Amino acid sequence: MNNLIKGAVCAMALGLATTSGIFIGHATADQPHMQAALDSLVAARDELVAASPNKGGHRLEAIRLTNLAIAEVHAGIAAAEW
């Protein structure tokens, strides 16, 4: 079961990383602080994914919340384009 959750989290992280370019576009140059925040969140998520899994569920929750934060930054960048 633990491997199933880890696989799902990794798949979600890969999906978010793959689609990140769709939302950023030219906004990267226009929003350097949002892009810096996004870069930091992605780096943090990568570190969490690489960490050992035995953290009482807190590591997985941190990954989940980091993915949500990444999605919110993407949404903020997209909203600023309107």
pLDDT at 54: 84
pLDDT in tens, 25-75: 554 558 999 999 999 999 999 999 999 998 999 999 999 999 999 999 999
Interatomic CA distance for residues 21 and 41, integer angstroms: 15
Domain positions in the chain:
2-81
pLDDT in tens, 8-29: 666 666 565 555 555 545 545 5
Tell me the Ramachandran region of residue 52: left when phi exceeds 0, alpha when psi lies from -120 to 50, beta otherwise: beta
Mean pLDDT of 76-80: 93
DSSP string, 41-54: HHHHHHHHHHS-S-
Which are the contacts of 71, defined by CB distance < 8 A and separation ≥ 6?
A: 16
pLDDT at 21: 54
